[in-house]
Amino acid sequence: MSATQRAVPAAMGTFVPRPGAAPLGRQVLAQARMEARLTLRNGEQLLLAVVIPVIVLIGGVLAADRVGLDLEATPVDVFTPGVLALAVMSTAFTSLAIATGFERRYGVIKRLGTSPLPRSGLLAGKVLALLLVEVLQVAVIAAVALALGWRPVPGPDGSTLGAVTGSVLAVVLGTAAFASLGLFVAGVLRAEATLAAANLVYLLLMAGGAVVLPASAYGGFGEVVGWLPSGALGGAMRDALIDGQVAWPALLVLAAWTVVGTVATARTFTWE
């Protein structure tokens, strides 16, 4: 008898099955575990999630002095929050969009649509899986940054509360914003087009979206990139981990992008 079937006593003292779906919470957790395992088993996903951010961190720190970047703090202190933001973007947007696009192409999501798991449960499972993968990303990147000399600075009052609160809110809202946009891209384009578009957007935002470097490094264009989800996420992470403060304006920008992406996805996303 499966876990979703419960036996109830019949009138004659025998037992008969009572089929039914598991509680929604258990369905979401099961979906999240499966999504996380699939991501961690995929070499391309791990490349985007861990390898590229670590390479950017090490390369940026080592090359900062030679290039002569005018940074507000030491290179490792500036690049570490930006690379953490880049890791969130790579997982929540690029990896999610590509994986979902090919799941639609091969009919995986269509088959899930016939299961007791509702659409909201499927999306919740995907987002929860993203957060699980991001915990691994943060641990790896933080370990590399500490080896390079990174020392998170507490807030003006000497407390780490602002740094922890600001970074956690940035990761959560950044994940929500980029996940909704990634699902939107995967829902309106074919799988091959999603692969190309997601990678192109990733490269453009990494180079010019103020995610790795602060908006001030882009001159007059910095006023524009600060309104992008990449610029808002990078700015919120730097404010939290460099100044120990919660960047409420940047978090509001991420919340607005989350609403835009969620509405667009709800109106356009199809199971196949």
* 233-250 pLDDT tens trace: 999 999 999 888 899 999
CA dist 142 and 157 (Å) reads: 23
Lowest mean pLDDT among 74-83, 125-134, 152-161, 240-249: 152-161
Give 260 or 12, the one with higher predicted confidence.
260
Give, as one character, the DSSP assignment of residue 93. Answer: I
CA dist 225 and 94 (Å) reads: 19
CA dist 144 and 107 (Å) reads: 39
Q: Is the pLDDT of residue 4 over 70?
A: no
Domain spans of the chain, in order of start: 23-268
Query: Residue 74 — left, alpha, or beta (φ > 0 → left; ψ -120 to 50 → alpha)?
Result: beta
- Residue 15: beta bridge partners? 9
* 32-65 pLDDT tens trace: 888 788 777 776 677 777 888 999 999 888 887 7
* 256-266 pLDDT tens trace: 999 999 899 88
Using an 8 Å Cβ cutoff, are 171 and 88 in contact? yes
